[in-house]
Amino acid sequence: TAAGNRTVHRPANLAARAAMVLRDNDTGTLVTASPRLYPHMWSWDAAFISMGLAHLDVSRAVQELRTLFSAQWHDGMIPHIVFTGDDDYFPGPDRWGTDDAPQRPHNARTSGICQPPVHAIALRRIIDTARRTSEADAGIAEDFAREAWPALRRWHGWIARHRMSEACGLVTIVHGWESGMDNSPRWDAPYLAVQPDADLPPYVRLDTLKVDDPRQRPSDDEYDRYLWLIEQLRRAGYYPDKVVETSAFLVGDVFVTAVFALASETLADIGAELDAPASEIAELRSWAGRARDAARRSCHPETGMARDYDVHTGTWLDTESLAAFSPLLCGGLPTETEQRLFDTLDGPGWSGHPGLLAAVPPSVSPHSGDFDPRLYWRGPQWPVVIWLFGWAFEQRGWQRHASEFRAQGVHLASDGSFGEYYEPFTGEPLGSPNQSWTAAVVLDWLC
C-alpha cells in the first residue's frame, strides 16, 4: 500500500524486512552498523542490534555482545568502535593510534573513546525476550548474563571511577562522539574551545562520499575539531585520567548520565536475579543514585529542562535538544517537575508539533534556532533514541506514553528503508539506508 509518495509496509512485512537487514549486515560474528557508511561494530549500536537479533536467534544475539565485550580494554572501557578490517572508513585504527596504548585489548583493533552505556539495557531486553520464547532460550540468555556480569561491572566501574565529574556530578565526555550525538547543538559552545593547530595531520573524509547529500553530515570544520581531539587523546596515551586532564573538550553529558543511571539500576536488577554478591549489587545502585541526583540537579530551575555542563568554562548549556528530557529515563525528579517535562515533551515544541509525520520527538525542537530538519543530530528523528525513551517509560509504568512511542516509531519507519535518521515533517529517510540499529528497534517494536 502507498500513502502519498511514501510506501507503507504492513507490520509482518516490515518485520521480515528488518530481519533481512540484520542478516545482510551480518559478517558472522558481528553485524556492521550499516552496509556502506559504517562497516564496523559501534558500541551502542551493537547493544541495540543484539536485542533485535534476540527476536531471530538468542544465541546469535548473545554472540553480538560477546564480540563487543571481547574488545573491552584492560582498564574496563568498552570502546566506541571495534574495527572489522575493512579500511573503507575514516578515521580507522591507524589514525586512532590505539595500538600503542598498553591498556588496549590484544585481540581486536578499536577506537580509543566510548559511547553511551546502554549495554545492560540490551541484556535485560534479551533476557526478557528469551524468557517469552522458550525455556531453552531463557537458559542461553541467563547463562550469558552470568558470563557477561564481570565485564559489565568493570565497564560501569570504569565510568564511575574516571568519568563522574566532581564539578557537576554528571558523567563527562571528552569527545562529542562519546555522546552518540556527534554534531548536536549541545556541543557547539564547548567545541569553540577546540582549536586545531598546524600539527593536525592531513586527512581525507570518506563519510561524505557515501550519503546522497553531504549536507546531511557534519561540516569539514566540525571534522577538523573531531580529529584534533583524537590527536590530543593519542598524545595522552589514552590513559583515562590523563585524557580527562588534557582534553580541550570536557563536558558533563546529562543524557549519558541518565543512561548510566538507568543501566546501572537495570544491571543491579539482573544481578539480583542471578544471585550476584550483595556488595556488587549495592555498588551499582549507589552509582545509579549518584547519576540520578546529578541529572536532577542539572534541571533548569524554571523550565525543568535538563542541561549539560561545560567543565572548562563552568557553565550550564541550555540547548533545546531531546537530551533535556533525560531525567525521564532514570527518574529522580520531584513529581511536579517530571509532569512539567512530560507536558513539554507532548507539547507543540516536541512530539505535539502539528507538522510532524510521526508524533515522536525530533533530536532538536523545531522551535529552536538550531533546528535543521535534514542535518544529522540537529533536527531529524532517530528511531533508537525513541526506542530508549519508550522502553524507559514502560519500565517506569507510563504505559500510555510507551505504547504511543512504539506505534509512532513504527509509523515513522514503515516505509521499510530503515534510514539512519528521518526528516521529521516528511518522514524522508536520511543518512545511511538499511541502518542496523534502526532495523533492530523496529523489529523489537513489532515483536
What residues line the site for ligand 9YW (CB under 6 A)? 33, 38, 42, 44-45, 180, 182, 207
Is 182 catalytic? The answer is yes
- Cα–Cα distance between 280 and 264 in angstroms, integer? 11
CA distance 29 to 20: 16
**Contact predicate 196/225, CB 8 Å:** yes
**Least gap, CB of 436 to ligand 9YW (angstroms):** 8
38 or 350: whose CB is closer to ligand 9YW?
A: 38
Considering the complex, state which of residue 222 and residue 283 has its C-beta at the smaller distance from ligand 9YW.
Answer: 222
Q: How far apart are CA 390 and CA 441, in angstroms?
A: 11
* Rounded Cα gap, residues 281 and 287, in angstroms: 10
- Rounded to an integer, what distance in angstroms lies between the CA atom of residue 400 and that of residue 152? 31
Write down the least CB distance from residue 360 to ligand 9YW, Å: 17
Query: Do the beta carbons of residue 86 and residue 124 sit within 8 Å?
Result: no
Active-site option among 64, 137, 178, 182: 182
- Exposure string (b/e) for 13-47, b if CB count within 10 Å is 16 or more? ebbebbbebbeebbeeebbbbbbebbbbbbbbbbb
What is the rounded CA–CA span in Å between residue 424 and residue 362?
Answer: 7
Report yes or no: 82 and 40 within 8 Å, Cβ to Cβ.
Answer: yes
Of the two residues 39 and 390, which places its CB atom closer to ligand 9YW in the complex?
39
Q: Which is nearer to ligand 9YW, 299 or 440 (CB)?
A: 440
Residue in the structure block whose three cell numbers are 551499582: 284
Please report how close the Cβ of residue 205 comes to ligand 9YW at its closest, in angstroms: 10
Amino acid at 308: D
Closest approach, Cβ 279 to ligand 9YW, in A, equals 33
- Closer to ligand 9YW by CB, 19 or 384: give it: 384
Query: C-beta of 378: minimal distance to ligand 9YW in Å?
Result: 11
Cell numbers placing 7: 510506501
Q: Which is nearer to ligand 9YW, 182 or 428 (CB)?
A: 182
89 or 149, CB closer to ligand 9YW? 89
Catalytic residue, chosen from 178, 420, 423, 428, is 420
* Catalytic residue list: 182, 420
